[in-house]
Structure 1
Amino acid sequence: MGTASVWAGEKEYLAHGATQVPVVHSVAYGYDDMDEWYEVAVGNKKGHIYGRNTNPTVQAFEDKVKALEGAEAATSFSTGMAAISNTLATFLFPGDRIVSIKDTYGGTNKIFTEFLPRLNIDVMLCETGNHDFIEEEVEKGCRILYLETPTNPTVKITDIERMVKTAHRVGALVVVDNTFATPINQNPLALGVDLVIHSATKFLGGHADALGGVVCGNSNLVEKIYHYREINGATMDPMSAYLLLRGMKTLKLRVEKQCDNAMKVATFLQSQALVDDVFYPGLENHPGHTIAKQQMKGFGGMFSFSVKGGVETVKHLLPKLKYANRAANLGAVETTVGPSRTTSHVECTPEERAAMGIPEGLIRYSAGIEDVEDLIADLEQAFQAVVKEVKV
């Protein structure tokens, strides 16, 4: 996987002896031969005609993701939410039914609760981890079973293989958001999933400097999504594709370090008096630990924890951290922290967050690649200072 992160998908796009894929900023691609132009335009011959459709730099990014996920095809988007919304819009029609879980990313949840019902699409959101109930709902019939595992931000786990068997019995497509796990830790296609989605902005890019999304799977399904995207226009720009390609060369190294750091920091937090709970599938007391061990190679660089005193403790604690960006992002080389009320579920009301099991005092922690001793010492000094300021 480390070799594929460095080399996959690039050689075809190198030019003039360069060792790096170039950034091709051209909007259009010219042809002197009218017949050749036509063959490329209708897809009978490889090539490019217009930047909203395809681009050499973008295609190199897609090919790398395709290789890492073991997919037949991949297509990219301007953002992760564009990848999610375009995929759902491709396959859902008025009168269809979709089954998912309550613990999806806030933007995804808004699609389920606000936008799809407008289109007369029936949405059933199940308790994450209640596999029996999810199976019952899927067996009633649905067009898509949509999963996110681990979830954002409480890192709950769903048994992918079990859900795939149930969904395929009723002819449903299974779509999995694999952003938190990354291809390094989890390959849903190998477990029978039909389509895998990533917010490439996060771990794939890894440097918090490029937006992007990608979906991969079998060629027939991806071609349909590509067609929807090329007409609706949520195209990835070539500079973002270049930055994502560059970031992915170190994906395996980064993710392995982030997994190690997350495990050690999460373990440390369990001993802190101000911490109510720590949510990380690598911890043996996590409800999804056993399933995660079966379907993941590593437990990921993401976890969350809740603190006594709720929002007031959060307001005092986070500004005291020296080695953490307080920002609405994750998966970067720098540690990034933030409460769900301003990050993953800012679109939701406090009541909606509470219904999803997200307390206002929950902190999402994206472990970076720093020396873990520094991260732990940083948290320790912050907790010591907060104890003197907050009464809980």
Structure 2
Amino acid sequence: MDWDRERAGHLGTLAVWAGEEEARWQGATQVPVVLSVGYGYFDVDAWYEVALGQRPGHIYSRNTNPTVAAFEEKVRVLEGAEAATSFSTGMAAISSTLYTLLAPGDRLVSVKDTYGGTNKLFLEFLPRIGIEAVLCNTSDHEEIEREVAKGCRVLYLETPTNPTLKVLDIARLAEAGHRVGAVVVVDNTFATPINQNPLALGADLVVHSATKFLGGHADALGGVVCGRADLVKGIYHYREINGAALEAMSAYLLLRGMKTLALRIQRQNENAFRIARFLQDHPLVEVVYYPGLETHEQYAVARRQMRGFGGVLSFALKGGFEAARALLPQLRRAHRAANLGAVETTVGVPRTTSHVESTAEERRAMGIPEGLVRYSVGIEDVDDLIADLEQALVKVQQSVG
């Protein structure tokens, strides 16, 4: 089946079927977990051709693996990409992409409130090797365009952002990046290919922490990059030499999770919107960050480039961090953990989750309040989640005044 031709309008079907047909074995209906490290060949010339990529096959699982290849193909099709390659974690995908594309003396333009690990690359690791990282105010597209116009090798975007759910206009900024010859990279973890396809909006590469919504069950680490074939080829080469390979069992779990991706995202979109509305009207809540709300600063952009607004929201309570500290232990239907995108609701504050590596000063510079609560909505009955938040907020009101 040519799933690229079947792609338009059938993402739920692709999430179930794409990438799996050639990877099955002896009539099995599921992709097998291939745990072999090496792959044998009687003919040395055939072995050599496989090693050079001149014919299909595998030689060593740090390079390629049948189970991993099926996962990569599923993501490639869902994102409408030319090629994809995978990694052991989302941060391995992000860092490998940047280290492949950038060299000493290069300039990168991005925004201030990216995920904490990504921000550390910009502030700490890239400058060590002579790469300039310019971080702009996330909501100021004019500032981003001015910095891009000065020249850059990479324009790195994350939308919606983690954890403040800001939205960047991908088409507008990709056009600005391409005017100066930049490679435009978009972290699509929060949106997923069900809600948003950055490549169709002009991006060159898309990265995912597959650990989150793609897998959806909080039981497998992984990352993936997809996009232009020439760029992905270089990133794959960096990964095969540096070794941050996705292992077969994790690839299998991610594949299994992705079969329900469209169903999960639909439910999480609906749940998050209902919960955002509830919180918006609560007297203890100071502000809610969710791109599906009409009050969101970039609501018009989100409506234009997203099919759904995602399963993550964040909110700040009146009373700041002490109120947030009081709230979390009272929640009965949420894991207090450093993860998101799972079928179970997960909650935390940035200083223990997304930006645990950052200092309080760095979080402040990124516009992240210490009392912000990040709430990753699961697939539970939304009325139960709202009731849980309501009872917890009542207890907070009683405890903090």
Shorter-chain TM-score: what band?
Answer: over 0.9
Select the residue among 267, 270, 273 that pairs with 1:263. 273
Q: Under a length normalisation based on structure 1, what TM-score does the superposition of the two structures give?
A: 0.99
Is 1:285 aligned to 2:295, yes or no? yes
Counterpart pick for 1:117 among 127, 141, 144:
127
The residue aligned with 2:206 is 196
State which of 2, 5, 9 in structure 1 corresponds to 2:19.
Answer: 9
Residue 38 of structure 2, aligned match among 20, 28, 37: 28
1:182-205 Cα deviation digits (max 9, x unpaired): 000000000110000000000000
Give the aligned partner of residue 53 of structure 1: 63
Aligned counterpart, 2:155: 145
Distance 1:340 1:327 in 2: 11
Indicate which of 60, 77, 95 corresponds to 1:67. 77
TM-score, normalization by structure 2? 0.97
Q: Equivalent residue of 2:316, what SS? A: strand
Aligned counterpart for 1:337 among listed residues 331, 343, 347? 347
Name the counterpart of 1:219. 229
1: CA distance between counterparts of 2:187 and 2:265?
Answer: 17
CA-to-aligned-CA distance 1:285-319 (integer Å, 9 cap, x gap): 00010000000000111110011222221221111
Distance (whole Å) between structure 1 residues aligned to residue 192 and residue 47 of structure 2: 38
2:109 alignment partner, SS class: strand
1:377 aligns with 2:394: no
Q: Deviation at 1:235?
A: 0.1
The reply on whether 1:82 has 2:92 as its aligned counterpart is: yes
Say which SS state the counterpart of residue 171 (structure 1) adopts.
Answer: coil
Superposition pairs of residues 226-375 of structure 1, within 5 angstroms: 226-375=236-385
Distance in 1 (CA, whole Å) between partners of 2:216 and 2:234 is 29
d(CA) in 2 for partners of 1:224, 1:188: 20
Which residue identity is paired with 1:171?
G
> Secondary structure of the equivalent of 1:57?
helix
SS at match of 2:314: strand
Instruction: Kindly provide the amino acid, as one letter, of the partner of residue 383 in structure 2.
Output: E
SS at match of 1:26: coil
The one-letter amino acid of 1:34's match is V
Give me the whole-angstrom Cα distance separating, in 2, the residues matched to 1:313 and 1:159. Answer: 33
Instruction: Please give the alpha-carbon distance, in whole angstroms, between the structure 1 residues aligned to 2:197 and 2:362.
Output: 31
Q: Give the match for residue 99 of structure 1.
A: 109
Indicate the residue corresponding to 2:4 in structure 1.
none
Listed one character per residue, the Cα deviations across residues 195-244 of structure 1 (whole Å, up to 9, x for unaligned) are 00000000000000000000000111100000000000000000000000
Distance 1:256 1:247 in 2: 15
4+ long deviations beyond 4 Å: none
Q: In structure 2, the residue corresponding to 1:388 is in which secondary structure?
A: helix
Matched, 1:157 2:167: yes
Name the CA distance, whole Å, in 1 between partners of 2:229 and 2:360. Answer: 41
Q: Distance in 2 between matches of 1:275 and 1:349?
A: 25
**Which of 101, 115, 135 matches 2:145?**
135
Offset of residue 387 of structure 1: 1.1
Letter in 1 for 2:120: K
1:18-66: CA deviations, max 9, x gaps? 1000000000001111111111111111100001100000000000000
> How many positions carry a matched residue from both structures?
391
* CA-to-aligned-CA distance 1:330-362 (integer Å, 9 cap, x gap): 000000000001000011111111111111110
Indicate the residue corresponding to 1:386 in structure 2. Answer: 396
Distance 2:181 2:326 in 1: 50
Whole-angstrom distance in 2 between the partners of 1:364 and 1:357: 14
Distance 2:396 2:380 in 1: 23
CA RMSD in angstroms, aligned pairs only: 0.6
Q: Match of 1:305, SS?
A: strand
Q: Which amino acid aligns with 1:107?
A: G
Deviation at 1:385, TM superposition (A): 1.3
1: distance between equivalents of 2:159 and 2:396?
A: 33
User: How far apart, in 2, do the equivalents of 1:243 and 1:4 lie?
Assistant: 17
Mapped to 1, the partners of 2:376 and 2:156 lie a distance apart of 24
User: 1:180 and 2:184 equivalent?
Assistant: no
Tell me what 1:205 maps to: 215
Following the alignment from structure 1 to structure 2, what is the Cα–Cα distance between the partners of residues 209 and 73? 26
Q: Percent identity?
A: 70
* Cα distance per residue 1:102-140 (max 9 Å; x no partner): 010000000000000111111100000211111110000
